[in-house]
Amino acid sequence: MKKKAIAATCLAATMSLFASAHDVIDNTDRERRVTSIMVYSNVGQPKVFLNGQELEGIHKGFTDVHYVIDNVTLKDGENIVTTTATDKQVNKLSDEIRWQYTGEKRRSARQGNNNAEHAGF
């Protein structure tokens, strides 16, 4: 399987998993057992797996390359999320992220922020 870099140009086939900032501090330590998984794919609808089991209920998000699966239940410990898709040249693309779940957490919005940086949008 080919794995394309997240920073690939828009002309290349890309797919990546996204861990939303409000649910994580370092993109691996999940604070909620029930969460959403977001996938960005410019090669069509991907398949998404949690710990080797294919998930159902994937739907389009805000754009044509944004896909979401809601109400995913994580197990205690390590959870491996994998996504795959096939591009028009029949190359199989994949991405994977490993999340840890060690119990419900309540974090402040400021935790993990770098207040010395500013990004204006």
Check residue 3 and report its DSSP letter. -
- Which of 58, 83, 99 is CA-nearest to residue 1? 83
Q: At a CB cut-off of 8 Å and minimum separation 6, what does 42 contact? A: 10, 13, 14, 15, 65
Q: How far apart are CA 77 and CA 94, in angstroms?
A: 23
3-state secondary structure of 7: coil
pLDDT score at 107: 67
pLDDT digits (tens, 9 = 90+) for 49-108: 999 999 999 999 999 999 999 999 999 999 999 999 988 888 899 999 899 999 888 766
Angle at 55 (CA atoms; ends 50, 59), nearest 5 degrees: 125
**CB neighbours (10 Å) of residue 103?**
9
pLDDT (tens digit per residue) in 13-31 = 455 655 443 443 456 788 8
The pLDDT, as a whole number, for residue 11 is 33
